[in-house]
Amino acid sequence: MTDKDISVIWPNFWDDIMLFDFAKDPFFSNYETMKVNSEENQYTFQTDLPGFSKEQINVNVKEGFLEITAKQEEKTKTSFSRKDFSQRYRLPKDIDLEQDSKPAKYENGVLELVFSKKQIPEKSDEKQIKIE
């Protein structure tokens, strides 16, 4: 199917796609975002996780990624509900994972993590070659 075929079936296809407001759509608006604040000696990461308790949230650092998962299940005699959250974020290269990080905080539905920065020596792409 080509663009021409689509225009026969749906004349305003491309206009409708470009005008679609993803932020207002309930399917797309459920995706959380990570707020990152870079300070001189540390990074602060914050993400909204409303409706979870701190016992339902797991935070791991693995292979250069920050992994946050949360799971909530509620069972009654007549119903069952489940809420899941899972995101991976690539960490900046200057995060010091060897140094003990501060404990994560979870207050009023907001998860906050603080990581120290390590000093990375500046590398120069310049190299002088000796002439013999």
Q: For the chain, give the number of residues.
A: 132
The pLDDT of residue 89 is: 87
Question: What letter does residue 123 receive in the DSSP assignment?
Answer: P
DSSP, residue by residue, 43-95? EEEEEE-TT--GGGEEEEEETTEEEEEEEEEEE-SS-EEEEEEEEEEEPPTTB
* Encoded amino acid at 97, one letter: L
Residue-level pLDDT, tens digit, the chain, 132 residues:
555 555 555 555 555 554 444 444 444 444 457 888 888 888 899 999 888 999 999 999 888 888 999 999 888 888 888 888 888 888 888 888 877 667 889 999 999 999 888 877 677 677 788 898
Contact 68, 54 (CB under 8 A): no
The pLDDT of residue 80 is 86
- Note the pTM of the prediction, 2 decimals: 0.63
Q: What was the pLDDT predicted at 119?
A: 76
Residue 24 is predicted with a pLDDT of: 47
Domains observed in the chain: 1-31 (no CATH), 34-116 (2.60.40.790)
